[in-house]
C-alpha cells in the first residue's frame, strides 16, 4: 500500500486564499481534481486516493469554492453509449 502523500495538501494550502472552481471526478479508488482560477487558468491538477482523510487534507485548508462534481460507478462507463 502506498503511503498517503501530503504533496497535494501542501499545494492546495498554497493557493487557499484564491477564488477557485474545483472540478472533482470521484472514482472508487482514486479521484482526479482540478483547480481553476477566476481567469480560467488551471492552477493545479492532481490525483488523490478516494477516502475521507485524504480529501479532508487536500480540501480542508481551502476557502469556500464552487465545485463541479462527477461520479461514476465502476463499470458504468461501459454501459453508456
pLDDT digits (tens, 9 = 90+) for 26-75: 988 899 999 999 999 999 999 999 999 999 999 888 888 999 999 877 65
pLDDT at 2 over 70: no
The whole-number pLDDT of residue 75 equals: 58
Domain membership flag for residue 80:
no
Under 8 Å CB-to-CB from 57, ≥6 apart: which residues?
Answer: 4, 6, 8, 9
- With beta carbons less than 8 A apart as the criterion, state whether 76 and 55 touch: no
Domain count along the chain? 1
Domain membership flag for residue 21:
yes
Q: Distance (Å, rounded) from C-alpha 46 to C-alpha 24? A: 10
Instruction: Give the predicted TM-score (pTM) of the model.
Output: 0.66
Domain membership flag for residue 14:
yes
Domain membership flag for residue 34:
yes
Query: Which structural domain range is residue 11 located in?
Result: 7-72
Check which CATH number belongs to the domain holding 35 and give it: 3.30.420
Amino acid at each position: 500500500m502506498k503511503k498517503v502523500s501530503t504533496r497535494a495538501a501542501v499545494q492546495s494550502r498554497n493557493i487557499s486564499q484564491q477564488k477557485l472552481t474545483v472540478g472533482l471526478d470521484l472514482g472508487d479508488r482514486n479521484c482526479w481534481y482540478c483547480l481553476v482560477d477566476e481567469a480560467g487558468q488551471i492552477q493545479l491538477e492532481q490525483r488523490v486516493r478516494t477516502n475521507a482523510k485524504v480529501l479532508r487534507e487536500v480540501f480542508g485548508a481551502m476557502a469556500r469554492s464552487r465545485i463541479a462534481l462527477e461520479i461514476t460507478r465502476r463499470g458504468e462507463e461501459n454501459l453508456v453509449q
